[in-house]
Amino acid sequence: MKASIKVALAGNPNSGKTTIFNSLTGARQHVGNYPGVTVEKKEGTCRHGDVQIQVVDLPGTYSLSAYSIEELVARDFIVEEKPDVVVDIIDASNLERNLYLAVQIMELGVPLVLAFNMSDTAKARGYEFDLETLSELLSAPIVTTVGNKGEGITELLDAIVSAAAKQDTWQSAKIVYGKEVEEELAKLAPLVARETAAAEKYGLRWLTVKLLENDQSLLEMVSSPELLAAVEASSKHLQGIFGDPPEIVITDRRYGFISGACTETVRSTVEARHTMSDKIDTVVTNRLLGLPIFFAMMYLVFQLTFTIGDPFMGWIEQIFGWLGGIIEGFWPAGSESALKSLLVDGIIGGVGGVIVFLPNILLLFMAIAILEDSGYMARAAFIMDHLMHKIGLHGKSFIPLVIGFGCTIPAIMATRTLESRRDRLTTMLVAPLMSCGARLPIYALIIPAFFPQQWHAPMLWIIYLIGIILAIVCAKLLRATLFKGESTPFVMELPPYRVPTLRGIVIHMWDRGWMYLKKAGTIILGISILLWAMTTYPKKEVFARDYPAEIAQLQAAYPKDTGVKNAEALQAKIMNLQQAQRAEELTYSIAGRIGHGLEPLLKPMGFDWRVGTALIGAFAAKEVFVAQMGIVFSVGEADAESEVLRDRLRENYTPLAAFCIMIFCLISTPCMATIAVTRRESNSWGWALFQLGGLTALAYVLTVFVYQAGSLLSIGTG
Amino acid sequence: MSKTLSASLEDYLEAIFHISAQKQAARPKDISKRLKVNNSSVTGALKLLAGKGLVNYAPYEIVTLTGKGKTLAEDIVRRHETLRDFFEKVLAVSHEDAEEAACKMEHVVSREVLENLIQFTEFVETCPRGGSKWVSGFRYHCDAGGEHADCEQCITLCLEDFKQANAGDKTGEAVSLHELNPGQKGKVIKLRAKGEARKRIAEMGLTRGALVEVERVAPLGDPLEVKVKGYHLSLRKEEADTIDVERI
Ligand SMILES: Nc1nc2c(ncn2[C@@H]2O[C@H](COP(=O)(O)OP(=O)(O)O)[C@@H](O)[C@H]2O)c(=O)[nH]1
């Protein structure tokens, strides 16, 4: 027996595959990607007796036809990597459909172990299985498990190890497709064996069946026109007999085989017509209550994310401020050390800027994990599909777009749930228009500075609304031009409601949080340091005025005993001078020069070079804009609540220009991390740059329009 | 309203209504011909009606109904027809006798009696315990006298007929899945979608012969939720449209 075996976990979505994977591997797992595609690959290891087992979690699929990337990846993994054993996690309470995948794995001829998971639910629904006979009919060992309680895991490992030991003599059950189909298969098989190189790898029968099933990805591999013609002829022949193309006939037969096996071995003792899940659904997807409940849920998710997240954000900011203070203490006061500046302003500021969003991200993903594991997510897609379909998207697009209000990065990552590339790309490209949490500080800074109290909330709504409307328009436009074509069928399972487990939620949060730190965090940190350098260098040596001398003069002119009031006035004057010096330094720096250079372009939008400089920062990460404005206006440490900064803004900009800044920040230049993630998820720099260019152009055109129209009509110019 | 008009005046109004329906406007000559009365009576009646603002009338001119007159005339005609139908269809009276009786009774029947009569006629026609057979049973009773057939058998037959009528034209009817209402079931006959979509639908278990039940429609009216092979699946109406099922 081998000392080390490789096991692949397959299964339908919602069969409890992740739960079983976690039970098997515990913390010894890591997440990667399948080569060349953006499907997540989870791997882990475990020991059973003296056998080392490597477990690979295949993507959850309903079938192994090449319908989606996930199916292709799962299939290719089994075929190319030849795992010693494939474990199919089956939701025993939904046996027939789950066996459809099992049957296809079976046809691949690999050693297969069936885990009848959710056996508790199956029992509660009154199903009784004759596992011995079923196991014989399917020629695969069956183990019952209850994933969330960890029951049956040891037995599953036993079965895996003994199946691996038998792999050389493994005999899979064979499905007979009926006389007519079998005749065609027999006709094609020799041709397939002769004309394709892949027959050995895939297994002759499997490959022949798949070709007859009109499997595009495999047909593309076939170069022989003779074989293609023969497949075509067989297909026509069968279509003539059955009135349906062979792929439908074959699917019918597979289900026929399954239902034959099930009638023999499954008994339903109670007629459970209305399960708890059905009862919940009559309320949750109710005609009248469905939408209100949905919106309430979304509201709750946001309350959870932001209300609970905010204090944590405050603490994190304090901790980093305190840390910065300590490090600053190592240098004498007023030191101009470049290292100090790099450490305090560049690195600590940058790391802080990354970590500060962690509470929000973790809470958001906790909410999403709860919604997903409980089964509500599918209902959300069900409820919203009609609307989303109208703008050319899929019900499932709604979820990434909603997440987009939190942060665009996870939103783009969430587009993975979409099956069609067109839907996926459209959603990905418009997702940045959902105003993310990082843009909130910008609005939070600007709105109170320029608009009266009663206008604060409506203003915020208007900004968000503009984003939503633009997203709709852009999605429609994309679907009408670049992504023309049929929308994918909305055949989506509505899984039964379940109580989510704490463990599942924590793992989900951890995964996403870590991904954020690693992927987005590193970029934000890198750019923060770069930005620090851009705003600091080159250092100005010769100033227009001799600031130190002027300060000394001022101090000399005020005798020490002239009272508190005069001392304050003195301080203010000194501050003015220092800020003027800082501003001069910034103008001289790279960022300042770029900002100045862009000014002719920015003028039509009502922006000056300072906004331009801050926008360079916003490209790194939206929230940097606020801090950058603080630096540009030399008000020191600035956050969204800084009154000093607000005063400065009021002095320098009109409400119209301020509104334009918000619109521009809303639409333009998704942050660096967004571009990086889009590049990763779309697997092409082309789409990432298209997103960057397209949105920036849109923002520019729109903002210029608003500013010019506003100026012309004298709205908000006073 | 009708109480202020005498029976004969109502007859005049009705006549004018029918004549105008045929020829746009009525001449006194037509009226006298239709009601079999002499010209002077017509002139008198028309003067009275004109005085009540129900017709437009001047000597030697054609007669038309005013708006008010028309409403009143329509009401009278309706009463007439209802009564006639009741006599003819329910009470199995001959057409001529029904007409004559209706002519006489229409002036004295109150609105409430009339409404209930209409309801009753409808009820007899649609209630499974009534219906055309029951009415013909009554006709037979009139013709043959008080002989009663086997009541129990009659009721059983009636019940079977009812079951068949209700299910007969529905089961086995081939419709698209989209046409089933929530709670209705069907058996898949054929998938008419094309390519990938069809394969997907089949792979999710909607194969030929599979039982599907429409569970509900989404709040916004589009995707449907169906139950197939013991689990819940959502489908857009446009996809459901491509799935032919046989009603069960
Ligand atoms: N009742 C029951 N629930 C389970 C079982 N296994 C997993 N679950 C729950 O089913 C839900 C979905 O599981 P998950 O592993 O995320 O499914 P996946 O989509 O296949 O990865 C989670 O809420 C689990 O806690 C089981 O055997 N019985």
- CATH number, residue B185: 2.30.30.90
Distance from C-alpha of A232 to C-alpha of A273, rounded to nearest angstrom: 45
Strand partners, A160: none
More confident residue, A532 or A500: A500
Diameter over CA atoms, chain A: 111
Q: How confident is the model at residue B150 (pLDDT cuts 50, 70, 90)?
A: low
- Measured CA to CA, the distance from residue A696 to residue A619 in angstroms comes to 11
Q: Which of B165, B190, B215 is the last residue of a domain?
A: B165
Rounded to the nearest whole angstrom, what is the distance from the C-alpha of residue A146 to the centroid of ligand 1? 9
* Distance from the A344 Cα atom to the nearest Cα atom in chain B, whole angstroms: 54
Q: Which residue has the higher pLDDT, A164 or A628?
A: A164
Same domain, B93 and B3: yes
CA-to-CA distance for B16 and B18, rounded, in angstroms?
6
Is the separation of the CB atoms in B243 and B177 below 8 Å? yes
pLDDT band, residue A272 (cuts 50/70/90): low
CATH class of the A179-268 domain in this structure: mainly alpha
Q: For residue range A339-353, list pLDDT tens digits in order.
A: 877 887 777 777 776
Question: What's the confidence (pLDDT) of residue B78?
Answer: 83
pLDDT at A660: 92
Closest residue in chain B to residue A289, using alpha carbons only: B219
Copy the structure tokens of residue A70: 């996930």
Amino acid at A35: P
pLDDT the model gives residue B146? 58
**pLDDT (tens digit per residue) in A47-100:** 888 889 999 999 889 998 877 778 888 998 998 888 999 999 999 988 999 999
B69: left (phi over 0), alpha (psi -120 to 50) or beta: alpha
Query: Which of these, B73, B99, B66, B64, lies nearest to B85 by C-alpha position?
Result: B99
The number of folded domains in chain B is 3
| SS3 state of residue B112 | helix
Of B216, B231, B236, the CB nearest to A97: B231
Judging contacts by C-beta atoms under 8 Å, the chain B residues touching residue A382 are 218, 223, 225, 234
Q: How far is A304 from chain B (nearest CA, A)?
A: 26
* B105 shares its domain with B140: no
Cα separation of A367 and A355, whole Å? Answer: 19
Q: Say yes or no: B66 and B113 in one domain.
A: yes
Q: Which amino acid is at B179?
A: E
Please say if the pLDDT value at position B3 is more than 90: no
Write out residues 204-263 of A within 8 Å (CB-CB) of B.
213-214, 243-244, 247-248, 251-252, 255-256
Listed in order, strand segments (DSSP E) in B57-202 are: 64-65, 174-176, 185-191
Are B60 and B43 found together in one domain? yes
Secondary-structure breakdown of chain A: helix, strand, coil percentages, each rounded to the nearest 5: 70, 10, 25
- Report angle CA A66, A72, A78 to the nearest 5 degrees: 125
The per-residue b/e assignment along A149-173, b for 16 or more CB within 10 angstroms, e otherwise, is eebbbeebbebbbebbbeeeeeebe
User: For a substitution probing ligand 1, which of A31, A143, A148 has the most ligand atoms within 8 Å of its CB?
Assistant: A148
Task: Tell how far the Cα of A265 is from the centroid of ligand 1, in angstroms.
Answer: 24
Where does A4-169 sit in CATH, by number?
3.40.50.300
- Distance between CA atoms of A482 and A687, rounded to whole angstroms? 11
Q: Give yes or no for residue A531 having a pLDDT over 80.
A: no
Asked if A492 lies within 8 A of B234 by C-beta distance, the reply is yes
Name the residue with higher pLDDT: A29 or A125. A125
Whether residues B11 and B114 share a domain: the answer is yes
Q: Are residues B78 and B193 in the same domain?
A: no
Lowest mean pLDDT among A146-150, A299-303, A452-456: A299-303
Please report the pLDDT score of residue B170 as a whole number: 56
How far A379 CA lies from chain B's nearest CA (Å)?
A: 9
Distance, in Å, from the CA atom of A486 to the CA atom of A489, rounded to the nearest integer, reads 9
- What pLDDT score does B2 carry? 44
Sign of the CA dihedral B24, B27, B30, B34?
Answer: positive
Judging contacts by C-beta atoms under 8 Å, the chain B residues touching residue A248 are 191, 198-199, 202, 207-208
For the segment A617-657, what is each residue's pLDDT rounded down to a tens digit?
777 677 778 777 776 776 655 566 677 788 888 888 888 99
The sign one gets for the Cα dihedral A340, A341, A347, A348 is positive
More confident residue, A140 or A38: A140
pLDDT at A114 over 90: yes
Q: Which residue of B has its CA nearest to A64?
A: B203
CA A643 to chain centre: 36
Query: Residue A100: its pLDDT value, please?
Result: 94
Q: What is the pLDDT of residue B164?
A: 60
Q: Which residues line ligand 1 (CB under 6 A)?
A: A 11, 13-19, 60, 117-118, 120-121, 146-148, 373, 498, 500-501, 504
CATH classification at residue B78: 1.10.10.10
Which residues of chain B are within 8 Å of residue A495 when distances are taken between CB atoms?
231-232
pLDDT confidence bin for B138, thresholds 50/70/90 = confident
| Same domain flag for B210 and B155 | no
Confidence category of residue B1, pLDDT binned at 50, 70, 90: very low
Q: Taking CA atoms, what residue in A is nearest to B231?
A: A94
Distance A6 CA to ligand 1 centre (A): 23
CB atoms under 10 Å from CB of A563, counted, come to 7
Q: H or E stretch including B124?
A: helix B111-126
A489 with B191: Cβ contact below 8 A: no
Percent of chain B past pLDDT 70, that is, above it, reads: 84
C-alpha distances in Å from residue A547, one per residue of A575, A578, A593, A637: 11, 7, 22, 22
Tens of pLDDT along A420-460?
778 888 999 999 998 887 787 788 888 888 888 888 778 88
pLDDT at A703: 93
Q: How many CB atoms lie within 10 A of CB A391?
A: 18
Closest CA to A422 of A699, A687, A151: A687
- What is the rounded radius of gyration, in angstroms, for the C-alpha atoms of chain B? 30
pLDDT tens across A550-591, in order?
878 877 777 666 666 677 777 777 777 777 777 777 778 887
The reply to whether B223 and B118 lie within a common domain is no
Burial of A545 (0-12, 13-18, 19+ CB in 10 A): exposed
Q: What are phi and psi of A404, to 5 degrees?
A: -55, -25
- Concatenate the DSSP letters of all residues of A72-93 into one string: HHHHHHHHHH--SEEEEEEEGG
Round to whole Å and give the CA distance between A96 and A129: 13
Cα distance between residue A679 and residue A686, in whole Å: 8
Q: Which of A129-143, A311-325, A473-487, B134-148 has the lowest mean pLDDT?
A: B134-148
- Do B89 and B206 fall into the same domain? no
Distance A148 CA to ligand 1 centre (A): 6
Domain ranges of chain A: 4-169, 179-268, 290-480, 512-687+701-717
The whole-angstrom distance between residue A231's C-alpha and the CA centroid of its chain comes to 40
For the segment B134-160, the average pLDDT, to the nearest whole number, is: 68
Nearest CB to A62 within list B203, B215, B221 = B203
Same domain (yes/no): B111, B159: no
Nearest Cα to Cα of residue A427 among A460, A474, A467, A459: A474
Chain A residues with CB inside 8 Å of B201's CB? 489, 491
Indicate if B149 and B180 belong to the same structural domain. Answer: no
| Percent of chain A residues past pLDDT 70, beyond the cut | 92
- Cα distances from A212 to residues A167, A194, A390, A406, A470, in angstroms, run 28, 16, 36, 46, 45
If we measure between CA atoms, which residue out of B91, B25, B18 comes closest to residue B58? B25
Q: Which pair of tokens denotes residue A289?
A: 């209550």
Closest-CA distance of chain A to residue B199, Å: 6
- In 3D space, the residue among A180, A227, A173 whose CA is nearest the CA of residue A199 turns out to be A227
How distant is the Cα of A488 from the closest Cα of chain B, in angstroms? Answer: 7
Q: What percent of chain A has a predicted confidence (pLDDT) above 90?
A: 16
Task: Please give the helix or strand (H or E) that residue B122 lies within, else none.
Answer: helix B111-126
Could you tell me the residue range of the domain that residue B153 belongs to? 131-165
Alpha-helix runs per DSSP H in A14-93: 17-25, 69-81
How far, in Å, from the CA of A15 to the mean position of ligand 1?
6
Q: Choose among A95, A256, A395: nearest Cβ to B223.
A: A395
Name which of A198-207, A411-420, B231-240 the model is least confident about: A411-420
Give the C-alpha separation, A564 to B101, whole Å.
Answer: 114
- Calculate ∠ Cα A530-A532-A538, nearest 5°: 95
Give, for A47, the enclosing helix (H) or strand (E). strand A40-48
Tell me the C-alpha distance between A69 and A73, whole Å: 6
Cα of B202 vs centre of ligand 1, distance in Å, is 25
**CA-to-CA separations, B146 to A270, A464, B88, in angstroms, rounded:** 54, 82, 21
pLDDT at B206 over 60: yes
Cis peptide before B59 (omega within 30 of 0): no
Q: Among A149-163, B26-40, B177-191, B194-208, where is mean pLDDT lowest?
A: B26-40
A388 torsion bin: left (phi>0), alpha (psi -120 to 50), beta (else): alpha
List of chain B residues whose C-beta atoms are within 8 Å of the C-beta of residue A93: 230
Q: Is the pLDDT of residue B103 over 70?
A: yes
CA distance A322 to A339: 18
Inter-chain residue contact B216 with A281, CB threshold 8 Å: yes
Sequence-ordered list of residues with C-beta below 8 angstroms from that of A285, at least 6 positions apart, any chain: A379, A382, A383, B216, B218, B219, B225
A290 lies within 8 A of chain B by CB:
yes
- Res A520 pLDDT > 90: no
Separation CA A259–CA A111 (nearest Å): 22
Report the alpha-carbon distance of residue B209 to residue B206 in Å, rounded.
8
My answer on whether B139 and B209 are in the same domain is: no
Which pLDDT score, from 0 to 100, does residue A141 have?
A: 92
